[in-house]
Amino acid sequence: MTMQFACFVTGTDTEVGKTLISSAILHALGRRGVRAAGMKPVAAGAGLIDGVWHNDDADALAAAASVVLAPQLATPYLLRTPAAPHIAAALDGVAIDPAHILACFGQIAQLAEAVVVEGVGGFRVPLTDDVDTADLARQLALPVVLVVGLRLGCISAALLTAEAIAARGLTLAGWVANGIDPALAYAEDNVAVLSDRLCSQFGAPLLGCVPRLAVPSAAAAATYLDLSCLPGWPASDLDSGSNIPS
């Protein structure tokens, strides 16, 4: 099987909606009949359910994907403690090896036509003493989708993250504004300035604005996204972009 599309989803911080947007991308791919797999290379925070360790983010990606993967392939490092990965790994007595993550990604790429890789936390989160998630993204060499959580301070966080992505020679293929703070004043103005600067300085288009959803789901979030400009995105008349703000 030939992989046609892949992307790395990162965020301006933790809890900004990376999993929701990653799941929405997987849902959109599935609607196009594309065999799509989700990968969460490192997940910190797990609970035991019927004798099996589960992570909410990893489970959400698996539910949205159309390709079923073995959990140890989709999430090579499932850590129990909800903490920074290098801390959680130390507590679990685990050494995170980027080479193992890359090998798992290579196997997934043989099983799917599309792969969505979700990072952990923000763009520069330590994995080991000398490797962070930015290094992992560089080694994967995938186009990056940036999720910006709309809250106070998001403009600086987004621009700094975009600079860090560019500094590693990666393509910022697009960004999503995710409404995580319903009380944010001047949210539209924040989106407007980011849309202008991320496009003019980094060539990254706005893929959509997802409001705070009463019941968050991959299907609901996908209706607010136009992903047709992403590199390798499968063409389809399902892409209407009707909810993308002008």
* CATH number of the domain where residue 70 is located: 3.40.50.300
Which residue range is the domain that position 170 belongs to?
Answer: 5-222
Average pLDDT over residues 51-66: 94
Give the pLDDT band of residue 241 (cuts 50, 70, 90): very low
Q: Residue 40 catalytic? A: yes
pLDDT at 176 over 80: yes
Looking at the domain assignment, is residue 150 inside a domain? yes
| Catalytic residue from among 18, 27, 40, 86 | 40
Note the pLDDT of residue 237. Answer: 53
- Give the pLDDT confidence score for residue 211 in this predicted structure: 96
**pLDDT per residue as tens digits for the range 184-223:** 999 999 999 999 999 999 999 999 999 999 999 999 999 9
Is residue 229, in this structure, part of any structural domain at all?
A: no
Show the tokens assigned to 87: 């801390």
* 216 falls within a domain: yes
The answer to whether residue 52 is domain-embedded is yes
Residue 108 lies in a domain: yes
Q: Is residue 88 part of a domain?
A: yes
In a 13 Å sphere around the CA of 41, the CA atoms on its Cβ side amount to 32
110-113: list long-range contacts, CB under 8 Å, 24+ apart: 110/1, 110/3, 111/1, 111/35, 111/37, 111/67, 111/69, 112/1, 112/3, 112/35, 112/36, 112/37, 112/67, 113/1, 113/2, 113/3, 113/4, 113/5, 113/34, 113/35, 113/36
| Residue at 236 is within a domain | no
How far CA 151 is from CA of 122, 147, 195, 234, in Å, comes to: 15, 12, 15, 32
Q: What confidence score (pLDDT) does residue 2 get?
A: 79
Separation of alpha carbons 145 and 9, rounded Å: 5
Taking a C-beta distance cutoff of 8 angstroms, is the pair 81, 44 a contact? Answer: yes
pTM attached to this predicted model: 0.94
Alpha helix stretches (DSSP H) within 152-210: 154-167, 187-202
Q: What confidence category does residue 181 fall into, taking pLDDT thresholds of 50, 70 and 90?
A: very high
Is 243 domain-assigned?
Answer: no
pLDDT of residue 50: 87
pLDDT at residue 149, as a whole number: 97
Q: What's the pLDDT score for residue 243?
A: 46
Structural domains in the chain (count):
1
Q: State yes or no: pLDDT of 131 exceeds 70.
A: yes
- 32, pLDDT greater than 50: yes
pLDDT at 246: 33
d(CA 40, CA 75): 5
